[in-house]
């Protein structure tokens, strides 16, 4: 269930990320991340594994409210983070990913994420670090959207 925050603390620093899905099989980590992001003014939902996340991502997309960011662990039961990221890249390429893990094959993770859209963070990390990463992803999304707009304008002018 999407949790909305009445607190609009998120300043002008974060413009392109509003809806966030937190995916992790560690309930305490999910609660901690949700508590902090809710204070920052994000719209939140959570999932306990990649399969649950896929359903929630698809449902939100079909309802017209897609997630801007998925924060996912790598090691989870059922569908893990790497499989989820690969699916997001194909099915929802406009969704950014913040990959988190305490134990991970860093090479495999780095091959999977898109440098122009995503970030990686080793657990544990502070709320301040999480906001810095989200800010970095937000700037990446801004540049990506600006490039896409320019390409679309060039395509329209060519026609």
What is the CATH code for 19-158? 3.40.50.2300
Please report, for the chain, the start and end positions of each structural domain, with discontinuous segments joined by +: 19-158
- Per-position b or e across 84-97, b if 16+ CB within 10 A of its CB: bbebbbeebeebbb
Whether residue 106 is predicted with pLDDT greater than 70 in this model: the reply is no
Quick one: what percent of the chain has pLDDT higher than 90? 53
Helix (H, G, I), strand (E, B) or coil at 25: coil
pTM: 0.83
Strand, helix or coil at 113?
A: coil
Q: Give tens-digit pLDDT for 25-51.
A: 999 999 999 999 999 999 999 999 999
Give the residue from 70, 35, 40 showing the smallest Cα distance to 56: 70
| More confident of the two residues 27 and 110 | 27
């Amino acid at each position: 269930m999407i949790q909305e925050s009445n607190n609009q603390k998120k300043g002008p620093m974060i413009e392109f990320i509003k809806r966030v899905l937190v995916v992790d099989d560690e309930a305490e980590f999910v609660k901690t991340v949700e508590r902090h992001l809710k204070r920052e003014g994000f719209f939140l939902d959570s999932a306990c594994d990649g399969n649950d996340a896929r359903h929630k991502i698809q449902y939100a997309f079909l309802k017209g409210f897609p997630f801007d960011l998925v924060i996912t662990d790598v090691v989870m039961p059922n569908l893990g983070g790497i499989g989820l990221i690969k699916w997001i890249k194909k099915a929802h390429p406009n969704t950014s990913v913040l990959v988190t893990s305490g134990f991970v094959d860093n090479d495999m993770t780095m091959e999977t994420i898109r440098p122009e859209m995503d970030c990686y963070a080793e657990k544990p990390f502070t709320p301040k670090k999480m906001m810095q990463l989200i800010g970095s992803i937000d700037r990446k999304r801004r540049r990506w959207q600006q490039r896409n707009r320019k390409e679309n304008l060039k395509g329209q002018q060519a026609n």
